[in-house]
Amino acid sequence: MDLPNIPPLTERPAHVPPALVYDVDIFNLEGAKNGVHEAWKRLQREAPPIFWTPRNGGYWMITRAKDIEAVQKDHEHFSMKRMLIPNVPRPFPAPPLDFEPPHHAPWRLLISPAFSPKVVSEVEETVRKVAINLIEGMRPRGECEFVSEFTKVLPIVVFLTMMQLPPQDRELLMPHADAIVRSPNPQSIHGARLALKAYIQKVIDERKANPRDDLITKIMNARIDGEPIGEEYVVGMCTLLLSGGLDTVKNLLGFVAIFLATHPDHVRQLRENPDLLPHAVEELIRRHGVSNTARLIVKDYEFLGVQLKAGEQLQGVTALVGLDDETVSNPMEVDFNRPAPIPHAAFGNGPHRCPGSILAKRELLVWLQEWLPRIPEFRLKSGTVPHQDAGMVNNVSELWLSWDVQPIVE
């Protein structure tokens, strides 16, 4: 596959008004290392509602909640076939993202049951067991590096267990999942995708010889419109599942941990009123969105007074939906008493809404339920600074926490 050569700056196309050129590099977002969401919020305040950035191949960006939601729901003009920045084609088909309604629904129905409320409730025991083991292992030490010791373990082990894949394979798979959403280099993205595809191909070959009662085997044996699914679609679909399941929750946990470590009054509120936790989870997700998927413009279209051309990309900074003043009052503040429903698009909207959203919320809830009784007061470790950055997925790569060791409060 010929990969695009991405220049540092792309020349402005003739149809892009000069006034709408705004130099933004999502992989080097100004101020992000000191606070990713504050940096995105600054962009929302200062940039036009729609603009074109010459970085990473050149593409359109939107930052207002109503516009992002409109794009997410408009599958006629905006496709998820090219959801990454830079615009690197997938080297394999990837249903259901490759299809729009009505062709999308049969493919999505293959995976939705695996993440239903009933199944997630059954998986909760595994989530809780893993969380408790991890927390108890670090609690007596009075400190931990939260990313390597918790966020890179809990959601990944749980997801691999659900897929009946070896949990120890997380060390092999995580670097590839990171590269796909974090690298601005087309070759790195392409190589990481092929590596995950090769891993899944071996799994599928093994399932052919030894079928199981698991999601991968069910996809292999499924039919669409009465016809068996071609193996290239099975491999692509399972590869997409693997990529999506290894990254998002990991970073969401990291951002929430940073917030709670620096806001003891909010921690105290949750300890004193545990019944508030499910609602608090929704508010914490709103404030700390992580995904910023792009769309492929499928045909020439005028949007927000701007002429978009087929083949271009448009990125909606999804994390900003829950931070928009027009949608949420005092959006940068975390209010555990904020009235429901709490508006955000952390898991998308429309036909491509993330099917794993219920599992993600449950993992965050279980973590808080098991962490707060065991480590009721914690903080950023003295002398350390969290490592965070923006990108296709806002990320936390290092986070040291510390606490005073004390007995569990029964």
Q: What is the mean pLDDT of residues 279-305?
A: 96
Residue whose entry in the numeric block shows the structure tokens 């997700």: 285
pLDDT tier, 409 (very low <50, low <70, confident <90, very high otherwise)? low
Alpha helices, H only, 78-230: 104-111, 117-138, 146, 154-162, 170-182, 186-209, 215-221
Residue-wise pLDDT for 54-66, tens only, equals: 999 999 999 999 9
Q: In terms of Cα–Cα distance, which of 313, 304, 307, 335 is closest to 322? A: 335
Task: Annotate 144-173 with b (16+ C-beta within 10 A) or e (fewer).
Answer: bbbbebbbbbbbbbbbbebbebeeeebeeb
Instruction: Report which of 104, 247, 282 is spatially closest to residue 175, judged by C-alpha positions.
Output: 247
Confidence of residue 408 (pLDDT cuts 50, 70, 90): low
- What average pLDDT does the segment 180-196 reach? 94
pLDDT at 360: 94
Would the pLDDT of 163 be above 70? Answer: yes
Q: What CA–CA distance (Å, rounded) separates 352 from 225? A: 20
Separation CA 158–CA 127 (nearest Å): 6
> What's the pLDDT score for residue 235?
95
Q: Which pLDDT value is given to residue 31?
A: 97
List the structure tokens of 75.
């599958």
Do 293 and 247 meet the contact criterion of CB atoms below 8 Å apart? no
Nearest to 332 by CA among 33, 38, 35, 45: 38
For residue 200, give the amino acid letter. Answer: I
Do 292 and 315 contact (CB within 8 A), yes or no? Answer: yes
Helices (H), 55-98: 65-73
Q: Cβ(350)–Cβ(105) under 8 Å?
A: no
CA 275 to CA 270: how far, in whole Å?
8
Which residues, at least 6 apart from 218, have a Cβ–Cβ distance to it below 8 Å? 110
pLDDT (tens digit per residue) in 314-367: 999 999 999 999 999 999 999 999 999 999 988 888 888 888 899 999 999 999
What's the angle, vertex CA 159, arms to CA 154 and CA 160, rounded to 5? 105
Q: Mind listing the pLDDT tens digit for each residue in 94-146?
A: 899 888 888 889 999 999 998 999 999 999 999 999 999 999 999 999 999 99
Start-to-end C-alpha separation, the chain: 59
pTM: 0.95
Question: How many other CB atoms sit within 10 Å of the CB of residue 31?
Answer: 14
Of 55-59, 182-186, 256-260, the poorest mean pLDDT is in 182-186
Assess if CATH 1.10.630.10 describes domain 18-402.
yes
* pLDDT score, position 407: 63
pLDDT, average across residues 220-249: 91
Contact present, 56 and 25 (Cβ < 8 Å): yes
Q: How far apart are alpha carbons 184 and 190 in whole angstroms?
A: 11
| Residue 246: per-residue pLDDT | 81
Q: How far apart are CA 247 and CA 356, in angstroms?
A: 12
- Of 388, 384, 370, 367, nearest in space to 288 by CA: 388
Q: What is the mean pLDDT of residues 82-100?
A: 91
pLDDT above 90 (res 161): yes
pLDDT at site 243: 87
